[in-house]
Structure 1
Amino acid sequence: MNRCLHKSSTLHWPRLLGAFFICLSLYFGMLGASEEAVAEEPGPTVSLMVNGKGVFSDVQPQNENGRMLVPIRFIAEATGAQVGYDAESKQVTLEQKGRRVSLIVGKNIAYVNGKHYTLDVPPKIVSDRTLIPIRFVSEALGYRVYWDQIARVAQIESQEPDDSVAVVETGTNPYVVQAGDTLSEIASQHGTTMSAIKKNNYLSSDNLTIDQILFLPDGSRKALNPLSKKVGDSKLLGSSYHFPFNNRSWYEPYGDSFGSDREWTESNSGSVRSHEGIDIMAPKGTPVYSVSTGTINRIGWNTYGGWRVNITDAAGQYRMYYAHLSAYAPGLRIGDAIQAGQLIGFVGDTGYGGAGTVGMFAPHLHFGLYRNDDGRAIDAYDYLRYWEQNKIASPFS
């Protein structure tokens, strides 16, 4: 398990929600009146996350007088809230955590556990979907809200984080296991103990494998076989690079799949090609973050990679390739400057066919690393294992 989870701090609702919806108002003010802007998107976009995953719907959120309205299914399916609808009275109800919220389509009135409230904007029906004001409902149900101003994505959290999974505490002194190494010898050579190494790396046994990366605990001597000697460019081991998932995202343990055989080809000739990246299996909708600061040089559909984005790093030496996305963060374009740790898209299962093809494989992120001068693919596995200790913190951590 590789999920990073932390306890959430207390948030001040009035101030947070106020800032959140001011940002939403500005965003929709710039975008709402322009259908051309929507048409220019390089592919599907997601502007709302619930409990750490992008939420998809056939009806997009809408802005009404600076208030964001979202389909009720956004809330119900993603949070587990119980939803009811009375067609005769047009009354919508949501129940969760001992709270009952009632709203009436087209009316500016609402009730929370029987107490009357006046809404700034009423619920409405669009394309047979009931849209409700997210600010009021989130506040009434006790959810937490965060507005990612750079990515232009709203995030809602209805659950308390789970601290049952831990991660490496000290990840700045990586040792690469050599043939014949034992845990006791490594501990002795670096002035630490076996138990300290096992604790820092969450090892359940003393068994080691060649090329395994061990992160030596605080107080250890500098690694005798450091990761910097194994990789091609030690500059990529700097603190300015981040893992493409945040510290609360779940994903399966991943191996070095670089160079493995792949049988699907665009020509369907039956030939075998070499895999040029690392696959990290994760649920659809898991947010994907840029590893480095840089510039988008390609974005949109690719027959093999599906909805993908290429980002050239700030130094112009490497290209990072993020493939099989289900959607992008809104507004991304070729030539855009991207910051390390910026939300750029969401895990999916797109690719292996014409635009929009899905379901040819399980959802995962394909991450590729290429030299910019000659386009040569580089095995990114060791870099990812190092960046894994430097994840972007969820705003709800």
Structure 2
Amino acid sequence: MNRWLQKHSRLRSAGILGAFFVCLCFVAIGTAQATEPGPVISIVVDGRGVDSDVLPLKQNGRMLVPIRVIGEATGAQVTYDATNRRVAFNQKGEHVSLDINSRLAYVNGKRVTLETAPIIVNKRTLVPLRFVSEALGYQVEWDALASVAHVQTKPVEDRAVSVPEAGNPYVVQQKDTLGAIALRHGTTMSAIKQNNYLSGDQLTVGQILFLPHAAKKAEHPLSSKVGDQRLLGKGYSFPFDDASWYEPYGDSFGSDREWTESNSGSVRRHEGIDIMAPKGTPVYSVSDGTINRVGWNTYGGWRVNITDKNGQFRMYYAHLSAYAPGLRIGGEVKAGQLIGFVGDTGYGGTGTVGMFAPHLHFGLYRNDNGRAVDPYDYLRFWEQKKVVSLFA
């Protein structure tokens, strides 16, 4: 990204949403980080990845998480009575107390029995995730494919919507009008506007319109514009889910980029599409495939490359803040699998952050010759097939 973006890009303030969190893959504390390609996040709270300096722990089939993260991520008041070795949580009139190494706990004064007792590991107090979060009124879902726990503290309000009928995409041509398109395809202006959530009649050349179900087959279909129709198949999805917020994006493929590793002042060509989104926004694999690169890259920061299952294309996800647990070279992923989180890493040595506003850089490359392909039209098509949030 150019430094212009750093100065002028404005992301919507996501705020710090109250919540509780967590979970990680099934490994002992302290051993996972040594095998991971970079920072790992196993906690998503209200749609944002939450970092923790102490790994959660699985014990007796239940996940235990550090109380510090609970307090910071949820806004709950957390107290610890060292004399009685008791942890207490207070939030919105709910009171939960637990004793270290005891399966007895109290919710608003009512005694309950835990399946797993709180424990102290490496001077950190860990408590059961599901019990505490549900006692405080939160929803908890476990993403087994990604080994990530999701906690939702309030209803998802700004869920993105996809067009009702996305199977007949039309590419707007020179001199096209909404009325003319409707007439030629045996439909109405209002039906096209309703299907595409258009508030006005103005069109731009190259715009994709999804024609209603009853319309004739598009005279200028998207398949005639893009280079490979296979990427328009059912096995691909958008890299953000339907509950994630991101800025409207344009086609930045081929634009100039001034930063180079040599700092020579030369200008290079941008080989992808930048989608601005809050740091920690979950990123999903566009397709089934195999990881062929993962780890730090001077330009892309924490990044992952995935070759699609047909071996035709490589998808490049860059500037991540962290990965989902367990990513490794040669590992298999599924379309719609959570693989990482939006960040602002890159443009320097390992760990460099803050050179630009947080965003996902998505690149698409032919696997046979390594040539970059403009992914813009594919993304617009995949945008109608977002991953469904666990709290739908």
CA contact (8 A) 1:263 1:270 kept: yes
Shift in CA distance, 80/205, structure 1 to aligned 2, threshold 3 Å: farther
**In 1, distance between residues paired with 2:56 and 2:135?**
19
1:116 lines up with 2:116 in the alignment? no
The Cα of 1:66 is off from its aligned counterpart by 3.2
Tell me which of 251, 254, 258 is aligned to 1:256.
Answer: 251
2:15 maps to none
228-237 or 80-89, larger mean C-alpha shift:
80-89
Counterpart check, 1:157 vs 2:156: no
1:1-397 alignment, distance < 5 Å: 28=26, 31-32=27-28, 35=31, 37-86=32-81, 89-126=84-121, 129-162=124-157, 166-397=161-392
Given that residues 192 and 212 in structure 2 are in contact (C-alpha distance below 8 angstroms), is that contact kept between their aligned partners in structure 1?
Answer: yes
Cα distance per residue 1:340-395 (max 9 Å; x no partner): 11111111111111111111111111000001111100100000000000111112
Instruction: Provide the C-alpha distance between the structure 2 equivalents of 1:333 and 1:135, rounded to a whole number of angstroms.
Output: 29
The residue type equivalent to 1:299 in the other structure is: V
Q: Distance in 1 between matches of 2:122 and 2:254?
A: 47
Distance 1:127 1:40 in 2: 20
**For structure 1, which runs of at least 5 residues remain unmatched after alignment?**
1-20
Aligned-pair CA distance for 1:107: 4.0
In terms of mean alpha carbon deviation, does 313-322 or 114-123 score higher?
Answer: 114-123
The answer to whether the Cα contact below 8 Å between 2:232 and 2:378 also exists between their aligned partners in 1 is: yes
SS at match of 2:381: helix
RMSD after superposition: 2.2
Query: Where do 5+ consecutive residues of structure 2 fail to align?
Result: 1-21
The 1-side partners of 2:74 and 2:246 are apart by 20
Task: Count residues with an aligned counterpart.
Answer: 371
Letter aligned with residue 278 of structure 2: P
Instruction: Report the Cα offset of residue 297 of structure 1.
Output: 0.7
Task: Measure, in 1, the Cα distance between the counterparts of 2:30 and 2:247.
Answer: 40
CA shift at 1:220, angstroms?
1.2
SS of equivalent to 2:96: strand
- Aligned-partner SS, 1:295: strand
- Number of the residue aligned with 1:11: none
Q: Pick which of 163-172 and 54-63 moved more.
A: 163-172
How far did residue 34 of structure 1 move? 8.2
Distance 1:287 1:297, change over 3 A: same
What's the CA shift for 1:86? 4.5
Q: CA deviation at 1:212?
A: 0.9
Q: Could you state the TM-score of these two structures normalised by the residue count of structure 1?
A: 0.88
SS of the counterpart of 2:315? strand
Q: For 2:288, give the aligned amino acid.
A: T
In structure 2, distance between residues paired with 1:80 and 1:309: 33
Give the secondary structure class of the aligned counterpart of 2:133: helix
Which residue in 2 is equivalent to 1:9? Answer: none
Quick one: distance in 2 between partners of 1:286 and 1:84? 30
Other structure's SS at 2:69 match? helix
Tell me, in whole angstroms, the C-alpha distance in 2 between the residues paired with 1:83 and 1:208: 54
Report the TM-score when normalising by structure 2.
0.89
CA contact (8 A) 1:59 1:127 kept: no
Q: Does the 8 Å contact 1:105/1:123 carry over to 2?
A: yes
